[in-house]
Every structure is written in structure tokens, then in C-alpha cells.
Structure 1
Amino acid sequence: MHCLSVGPRGAAPTMCRRGEASVADSLAGVSETVVSATAPAIDPAFENVWDEIVWRGLVHVSTDQEALRALLSGDPITYYCGFDPTAPSLHLGNLVQLLTMRRLQLAGHKPLGLVGGSTGLVGDPRPSAERTLNTRETVAEWVGYLRSQVERFLSFEGDNAARIVNNLDWTAPMSAIDFLREIGKHYRVGTMLKKDAVAARLNSEAGISYTEFSYQILQGMDFLELYRQYGCVLQTGGSDQWGNLTSGTDLIHRVEGVHVHAIGTPLITNSDGTKFGKSEGNAIWLDAAMCSPYRMYQFWLNTDDADVIERLKIFTFLTRAEIEEYERLVEAEPFRRAAQKRLALEVTAFVHGTDAAAAVIAASEALFGQGDLAALDAITLRHALEELPNATVAPGTNVVQALVDTGLVSSLSEGRRAIAQGGVSLDGVKVEDESATVSGALPGGVSVLRRGKKTLAGVFVG
């Protein structure tokens, strides 16, 4: 068995044999053996990839389902998904699309990853207000970042090798008159006004500019261009983009007289209705510089029992049989959090590589007394401590003061009492003397303070 190891931004995927960079299965939640992340593969339990993506809950809305099932069960087709550079990184919502693309490619179909060098200059309509237009230089820079990210999740080898395209290549040379005559004439304003994103903005105080109103035409033109250049007959995207997806299918039908298809994946929300992947406005980015592997791992580890099986279906390549077993474990032994541990391992390894996943699991173990803090790599340890209450102190700072600075105690006197009661440790060693100082002896010049069994804080010395 092999596992796919995905490297840092721009690096090519590499293959590693099961057992390399392995992690304890107690963390993955199965038995006492050793496992690594699952290799991307389609599930042989399904007759075709359409049945699998339906079972995984990836089809919220689509064009003709019977036609799609036949299409995806037959000869290889070309399909695409677009990613606009409205930020310097993709996020978990985009990961749904990347995983869907990968599943279709594993079934033999040919992916086109479109990075929106032109649509990124415009921006699709948001529900509430007009987007801020970024500079051309910023968008061009972000195009490069997103391109390298998309490349990490697809295969560029074999008969169905992926291809990356940029819609600026066919949009930039077109004059406004050509755009209106060749594309705009096929659109009816009444139909455009009925699109959900447009209708929501028309009914808001902000209204909608002609720029964002025209976005659906640009996306429709993308599908037409890819149909003409590559024979592309399917587009995937989020269900909130359904109006833009059907803009392309309708345009191709009018201009070329053929039927093409679209699949809208569900918007992922938590069982309590809250938006998935964001906490206090902070998205879970796929770029390690914007969201560390440790933070990503912890995000998945904290998945609610009510959500974890759906997440395993969408975000991992575990088989139906494996996921059904985790469903049984969630019901029978929820306290073990076996499904959450496996989910965190699988997604972190897929996004950041098996080495990074192993490192963050080792850090989680060591922080809670099941490993050697001094053996951790400096970057992973720092990322882990950044997720805890933490403080930066000068070299030689008294442990009592560090307890106060990190918020583990509310006063110096409370800190002294905690030490006297034997309830404080520094870097895994019990603090016996209240005059002890923080030295930052762990890798990267940091220390770990613990009060009691489970209350931790990070100390950055410098």
C-alpha cells in the first residue's frame, strides 16, 4: 500500500510506502497496529464514480442526473473547476472542489484547473456588499500562489494528466465591443436578474455594480472557451455558484447547440447551522504559512460527533466500509474520538504531507505527557504553542511571573501557591522552587508551562 505525500507550495507530490512517517493507531482510532494516511483512490464498492460522489454527499444540485451518471461511467471526459485569486491561498471550501476533482480524475477523467486571472480582477457578487478590487499586480501574484496549490492535489502524469489554465489568456485580448457582440448578445437581463446572488444584492442597501453583475457572463464564457479548446463538458463548483455554473451550460447550448453539465457541491455547515471552517472570521487556509499544520489538525480533531461522519465522507479517501465502521465507533465509543483522530490525520496528511501530520501528532502527544517535548522540531512546537495561551518573556523571567503573563494564574500569590502545592511543571519537570526561571530550553527557544493536569501555556523566550 502506498500513501500520497504532498509537499510544500509548488512541490511535486511524492509517493511513500505505508509505514514511513507512520503514527500510532491509537490516534487514528482503530487498533494497536501502525497506520499512515490513506492513498487517494476510488472505492471499488461502487459501480462508478457518480454513485460514489452521490453517496459522499457531494451532489447538492446538478444538471440531468441520469445523463451525468452515464457520462461519468463511460469514456473519459474533460471537466473543470475554477478558483479565483481573491486571497493568497485557497481554503477548506476550495478543498471540497479539489477533492471532487481528484476523485473524478482517479476514475479516469481529465481535469482542467482554472485559475481566474481575469475573474479575480472582478470578483463574483457577495451576498452583502461590493468586493474590494485588488490591483492587477496583487491578483497576478495570487494567481501564482493558487496555481501552485491546485497543482499539488492533481496528477499531471498519464493519459488523463491535469492541465492548469488561466482565463486571462482568452479574456485580455478581447475588446469590449467583441465581448458585447460575441458573448453579451446571448444573455437576457431578466434571466440574469433572477440569479440568487444578483437578486440578494438588488434587494440590499448596497445594490450591485455592473462589474459584479457581469461576473456570470465571464464565467459562462470560460466554460464556452474550455468546451471549444478542450472539449470540456462538465463544470463543478459550490452550490452557491449555481447561477454562474448554469450561465456556462446555457451559453454553450445557445451557441454550440449541445448539452453540457454542471455539479454543485453542498455548502458545508456544522450541525448547529454555523458556517464551516471559520472561527471569529479566521478561515482555515491551505497555505501552511497562513494556517499551520498543527492548527489544521486541531481544527479537524475538534469536529463534533454529529458532523464527523459527513466530514469523513467528503474530506477523506476512506472507503464506505471504513467510514461505516467509524460511524459505529462514534455511536458505541464516542469518548475515544476515533473518527475525529482519523479525520484529522487524513486531511492534514493530504494537505501538508505525512511528515507534517506525524509531527503535529507527536506534538499533541508530547504536550499532554505522552512524548518527549525536547524531541519535537522547533517549527511544529512553536505552532502548537501559538494555539495555546502564551506570552513572550525576557530570558531569566521567574516562573511565577510567567504563570501570570500567560494567564495560568491571576496573581503572583496564586502562582506561588500553585507551585507550593506541586501543581506546576516547566518543560515536563515539576517546579519545586518558586524562584525558578524560564530558560526557553526547548527547540526554538520556547518553554511549556503546565498548571494541573491539562492547563497548558506556551512561553516564548527572547
Structure 2
Amino acid sequence: MSTILDLLQERGFIDAVTHESELQEYLNSNKVTCYIGFDPTASSLHVGSLVCIMALAHMQKMGHRPIALVGGGTGLIGDPSGKTEMRKVITQEQIDVNKEGIKKQLSRFIDFSGGNALLLDNADWLKGLEYISFLRDIGRHFSVNRMIKAESYRMRIESEEGLSFIEFNYMLLQAYDFMKLCDQHDCMVQMGGSDQWGNIVAGIDLVRRTLQKTVFGITFPLITTSSGIKMGKTHKGAVWLDPERTSPYDYYQFWINSDDADVARFLALFTFIPMDEIKAVEKLEGADINAAKTILAFEATSIAHGQEEALKAYEATASVFGTPLLSKGLMPTSVIPRSGDNNKASSEDKNIPTSEYSFELLDQGVAVVDVFVTAGLCNSKGEARRLISQGGGYLNGERISVFDQKISLSDMKDGEIILRAGKKKFHRIIQST
């Protein structure tokens, strides 16, 4: 009998598990409650959080109950795991704002209605703790000798800044979370990134000592691209799940620009496409792998932002690069528009990022390097000049030959000007009304 553990293993989620045979047996005979903690240090999660989010979504699809635990209490301290320097302390007001943003994003992936999943905040039980009672009842179960051997602590101790006492308490608090969730919600499985292994094991030990129960841990690998870059990091910074920070169009572009070597792996991790369809992608190359990237981008954007936004991004991309040829046999469970479908991309689609310029400004002309910067195609005038001098700047499909060129009304074609930086970054200029 296949379990959620088998599914996660097949799709590339698993880095390590505790008590593997006992966990398999428990999953075979129970509908389980599991949890993952999310640090509310920003009002938006990013692509680097997607492995954890998708794991909870898969748990729910397999009939289990996920808990998303927002660290409103631990967020006031900061998790040292995976960090070489102390995190900035944030205020309760910031945490409250961030928590609302995270809840909104998680609701795209997980159904919280009717108790199918829970969104909890550890501030509910941590902020009322009495220090002496906590040390007596919880702290006595922890060995400092064992704690400092944990990778997260060891890395900080060896760093220049060192490990602060406030951070040293983090492992106790996360372990206490697991104990409270087990006691109050019968939560028997904690999941998280591989950097959380020490914290998860500490929680398992605390539950055993205090509640006399066997609970389990699952960790996920740190996901990097085939070029070794941490998942979700680009030259612009993080790729956010908040559409105000990273638009659905740019989110779509992030996925469609994946390296060929990453496509099958990313389809397994970041979509719900069945694995038997994804395995066929591993053999593709050339135009066929580009078609698979289109489906990856469409499916990932649909999950994070809804099908309507995914269609807009698909059509905007098709209006520039042409409608992709997607055979009906390529990952047929995807609802992306196919060759021969009536829902084809329009060549006049307006979903490409667009800026408006006044008649007066366009009449006198605007320096192309200024437009490239304000449009977000380049980060600075210097970068724009280098791009153009190297032949990477285009205006209406024609290479820009000099970086002091101006954009004016005479460049308007069918009421718009299309700028391109490199092969894949586009921006539309229109006249304001």
C-alpha cells in the first residue's frame, strides 16, 4: 500500500526521516496530523518556502490534516538554523502584519475550511510562559552537550558573531511547540527543511519524555538549481508569492526560464502533475523541453495565483514569443491551452509589463537608458549602457545601436513600443490618455 511517504520520496521531497519503518506503519493505518513552522519575518513567503508548502498540500490531498504553524512567538527571537549571523529582532506589530500575508498565501495551496487544515500561532502558548516554570518543566530535559553538537548551533558558535543566549533558547521553544501540538491536536509528525533536523529531533525527544508518545520527523533537502543557485534567488532578489512583490507574469517567467536539467525535478516538486507523466519529460530536449517548461510555468502559476492569472501570463508570453506547440500527449492532466484549442493566445494581449508616457514626453523624446531603468529592464544606467553596447537592447525587435538613442512618438507601432533586454525580458510603452 502506497503512503504519503512513498509519494514524497518519489517526487524528491525526502532528505531524512526518523523511525522510518514505524512511520511507514503508522501512515499505513492512520489519518495523521502533521505540521510545519513558518517564520513570520516578512509579509510574504517566497519560492524557497514552496517545498514545505507543497508537502503540506500533498499531505492534505492524501487525506491527512496539515497544520501550518506561524511562529508569532519564536519570531520574536529568531531561528539560528542555517544562519551565520543573528537575525534582526522584529516587533509584534510587524509579526501581526506578516502573519496575515502568510495566511493569505498559504490559503492558495491548502484548504483551511471545515477543519481540513489548521493555521495556528505559537504565540498563543509561548507568550504566556513563566520562565522559572519553563526551565523546571521543559529545560531540565535538554542536554547542553547535545545541543551544541547540532549543526545549526555549531555553525553559529564557530561564526565571528557567535551564538546569542536568546537564540540558544530557540531549540527548546520549537520542541515545546511539537509537544503542545501533539498534546492538543494529536499532531504526530513534524516536517521541515534539512536545517531543522536538530530542532525536530529535540522535539521528538521532548514528546517522548513528557507525553510518553512516539512522534516522527521528516526533513526536506535544500533545493538548488542545476547551476548551484539557491532555489528562488535571482539577480533581482527573491521570487515572492505575494503578487504585489512578484507579479504573476514575472512569477511565470521565473519558471519558464528554468534550466533544461531542472524541468522534470521542478515539475515533481512544484506541481501536482502525476509522476508517470513527469518521467516522460526526462527524455525530452530542444523544442520539446521548452514545451515542458511552459507547462511547468503554467501549473506553478496556477497553484500560487489561480488559473486566470496563469492564463494571462501564458497569453502575454505567447504574444511575444508565439503560441507554443503543446501536444495533447504531453502531460495531459494539465489544463493549459493546447494546439488546436479555441483558447489561443492573442497577439494583442496586454499582460506584458507596461508603462505609460505622456504625449509631451514622447514628443520631445526620452533617453533609452532612462526608460530601461524605469521599466525595470536594468538596475542602473550603467547596466543599461553595457547591455546596449553589447548588443542586448532592442526596440520593436531591432537592436539598439547607440546607448544615447531616444525613444519618441515616431517609434510607436500600433500604439505601442516594445523594449527587450536580452532574450527574455520585455516591456511595453504606451501613450497615456
TM-score, L = length of structure 1: 0.76
Match of 1:459 among 425, 429, 433: 429
The answer as to 2:350 corresponding to 1:397 is no
**Stretch deviating more after TM superposition (146-155 or 239-248):** 146-155
Match of 2:99 among 122, 134, 143: 143
User: Partners of 1:436 and 1:157 in 2: how far apart?
Assistant: 53
Alignment of 1:223-302 (within 5 A): 223-280=178-235, 282-302=237-257
Q: How far 1:449 sits from its partner (Å)? A: 4.0
Change (3 A) 1:277 1:209: same
User: Partners of 1:436 and 1:57 in 2: how far apart?
Assistant: 52
The answer as to 2:291 corresponding to 1:343 is no
**1:161-181 per-position Cα deviation (integer Å, ceiling 9, x unaligned):** 111111111111111112211
Change (3 A) 1:355 1:154: same
Change (3 A) 1:114 1:400: same
**1:81-135 per-position Cα deviation (integer Å, ceiling 9, x unaligned):** 1111011111112221111111111111111111111011111014221111011
Partner of 1:356: 309
Change (3 A) 1:454 1:340: closer
Contact 2:397 2:418 in 1 (8 A): no
Alignment of 1:198-209 (within 5 A): 198-209=153-164
Match of 1:381 among 336, 352, 357: 352
Q: How far 1:72 sits from its partner (Å)? A: 1.7
Change (3 A) 1:257 1:404: closer
**1:199-250 per-position Cα deviation (integer Å, ceiling 9, x unaligned):** 0011111101111111111100000000110111001101111111112111
User: Partners of 2:319 and 2:32 in 1: how far apart?
Assistant: 48
Change (3 A) 1:394 1:187: farther
Q: 2:212 corresponds to which letter in structure 1? A: G
Partner of 2:52: 97
Change (3 A) 1:180 1:91: same
Contact 2:366 2:408 in 1 (8 A): no
User: Partners of 2:422 and 2:12 in 1: how far apart?
Assistant: 43
Consecutive unaligned residues in structure 1, runs of 5 or more:
1-45, 426-433
Q: How far 1:461 sits from its partner (Å)? A: 5.3
Partner of 2:76: 121
User: Partners of 1:454 and 1:209 in 2: how far apart?
Assistant: 45
Q: How far 1:393 sits from its partner (Å)? A: 7.0
Percent identity reads 37
Secondary structure of 1:397's match?
helix
Secondary structure of 1:262's match?
strand
Contact 1:249 1:260 in 2 (8 A): yes
The answer as to 2:174 corresponding to 1:219 is yes
Secondary structure of 2:207's match?
helix
Give the aligned length: 388
TM-score, L = length of structure 2: 0.81
Q: Which has the higher contact order (CA 8 A, sep 6+)?
A: 1
Contact 1:59 1:265 in 2 (8 A): yes
The answer as to 2:272 corresponding to 1:317 is yes
Change (3 A) 1:393 1:152: same
The answer as to 2:318 corresponding to 1:365 is yes
